[in-house]
Structures are given as C-alpha cells and as structure tokens.
Amino acid sequence: MLILDGLSKTYKTGDAALADVSLTVPKGQILGLIGPSGAGKSTLIRCINRLVQPTSGKVLLGDVDLVRLGKADLRRQRRRIGMIFQEYALVERLTVMENVLSGRLGYVPFWRSFLRKYPPADIQRAYQLLDRVGLMAHADKRADALSGGQRQRVGIARALAQDPELLLVDEPTASLDPKTSRQIMRLLTEICSERGLPAIVNIHDVPLAQQFMQRIVGLRAGRVVFDGTPEQLTHEALTTIYGAEDWNEMRRGDQEQTNAEEDARNRMAALVQ
C-alpha cells in the first residue's frame, strides 16, 4: 500500500508543481492520473521514487517513509518501485536482455553487473518475463532495433524484473499509435491484476484512462481536484480538471480516429487483394 501525505514540491524557480497532495493507493489498484500538461503529474510520480526531491510531505510505501531516506537506503527502496517511461528510456545500445537484466541492478553487486554475470535465477526470471511480454525471440537484439510497441514491452519487463511492490508509469502510450497503445495498456492492466500490483499511471488520453483504469485522479495546478471511478468522470468533472472545453467533441474526435483507422485498414486490405 502506498500513502502520500501532504506531498508538496516547489522548484527553485518558485513554481509550485505540487501542493499538499494526499492519496492512498491500496494493493492491486490501478490509478490513472490525468490533468493538463504542467499540472504536476510527472513531478508527482518522480517524487515517489525521488528522482525529484519533494519539498515537504511523506511518501509511505508499506511502513517506510521514502522522503527521509539516505542514499544507500533510498537505493534499496527504489528496487521496490518499478518505473515505466514515456519514451521507453531503454539503453538503446544494449541488448534487450541486458535492458531487462538492468532491472536487477539494485540487487547485484557492481562486478556482477559489469561482467554481465547475473545469478542464474535472475536470468531465468528475465527470460520468463520476456516470454510474458511476447519478446522471447528478440532477447539478443539491440534495443534500438525494435519497434515502439516492442520497446515499451521491454520497458515493462525491465520494471517487473525488479520484483516491484509498486509500478509508476509515466505516459506509457504517448509515443505509440492508438492500436499499440491499447495493447500496451491491456498488457499493463493484466500484469497488475496477475500480481496484485498497485500502479500509478500518468495518462493524457482521457478515453484510454476511462477504459482501463479502476480509479481516476485529476490534477490541476498541483492539486487533486477529482478522485473517483471512471464512471464518475463526467463532463463537469473534466471541466474542473481541464477548464472549459467541449468534451463530447473530444470523445467524438476519438471515435472518429478509430473509424478512420478502421477505414484505412479496410482500404489497405482491398488494395492488397
């Protein structure tokens, strides 16, 4: 279980990115974080594993307060938190397998990681994860030889290799096409429910959030302005989060895009025949 208590972050420039955010994420819950750009979604996620140092407040994972940890303890706690990134953030010039194994870095001493001599159990587990995300055949390829969707699967496998108790997911679909986005979201939700993993997912795509999330939290200017189920995310709720805008239009736009893709696929199929 993850508890955020009064979490605030003010950057050196004086911008208050987060103001007094309190949230409780129980085991197994997938929480979608929505909000306009600059609302502090990315800062919130990075405050949890302290890639960004929070100004005040508490982050309790289990019964450890992550904000007060020293360097070595922080390193040990970061192992418990898997993170998945927007631009995949794979080490492009390493193989897929090395990228997955890099999830074990917090567990192995430096010489093992340097010589790529990971314990057999780690390697077995890495293969198993690669199989789970459907990339068994690509283990020896270099990460930059993969497509976007495949890279994000490697990113998921790397996060899972940590044996995390929490997943932080930062805009997992921002660089993917709509179809791949849905596949990735489905994979993520499946994996979370398989393992009872809680997850916080930053997501800018409201329809996608409503389709896959169990709970949605809306951020605006660093404050929580909505917290509820996808069904409760009404027109009014969206207006409080994003400001006035014709949301039905956006939904219709999304529908249109799906239709257009469908149409294009059919036409391509017709061309092939």
CB of 91 to other proteins, least distance (A): 5
Q: Quick one: which segment of 1-9, 58-66, 83-91, 175-183 binds other proteins (CB under 8 A)?
A: 83-91
Backbone angles phi, psi at 272, to 5 degrees: -65, -35
Q: Which of 3-11, 59-67, 86-94, 182-190 is the region at the interface with other proteins (rule: CB under 8 A)? A: 86-94
The yes or no reply on residue 95 touching other proteins (CB under 8 A) is yes
Report whether 157 contacts 133 (CB < 8 A): yes
Two tokens, residue 99 = 């990228």
- Of the ranges 117-125, 218-226, 241-249, 263-271, which one interacts with other proteins (CB under 8 A)? 117-125
In single-letter form, the type of residue at position 21 comes to V
Least Å from the CB of residue 133 to other proteins: 14
Q: Output the smallest distance, CB 219 to other proteins, in A.
A: 21
Q: What are phi and psi of 237, to 5 degrees?
A: -60, -45
CA angle 23, 28, 32 (to 5 degrees): 50
CB 241 within 8 A of CB 56: no
Which residues within the stretch 211-250 sit at the binding site for other proteins (CB under 8 A)?
A: none
Q: Which residues of 74-86 are buried (b: 16+ CB within 10 A; e: fewer)?
A: eeebbbbbbbbbb
Task: In angstroms, give the least distance from the CB of 129 to other proteins.
Answer: 10
Which of positions 144-173 make contact with other proteins (CB under 8 A)? 155, 158, 162, 168
Asked if 140 is part of the footprint of other proteins (rule: CB under 8 A), the reply reads yes
**199 touches other proteins (CB under 8 A):** no
Q: Which of 113, 153, 114 is nearest to 130 (CA)?
A: 153
Name the residue nearer to other proteins (CB basis): 98 or 205.
98
* CA 51 to chain CA centroid, nearest Å: 14
Q: Which amino acid is at 134?
A: G
Positions in 97-116 near other proteins (CB under 8 A)? 97-98, 101-107, 110, 113-114, 116
Cβ atoms 160, 152 nearer than 8 A: no
- Comparison of 69 and 221: residue with beta carbon closer to other proteins: 69
CA dist., res. 163 & res. 76, Å (int): 12
What residue ranges bind other proteins (CB under 8 A)? 49, 51, 75-79, 81, 83, 85, 87, 89-95, 97-98, 101-107, 110, 113-114, 116, 118, 120-121, 123-128, 131, 139-140, 155, 158, 162, 168
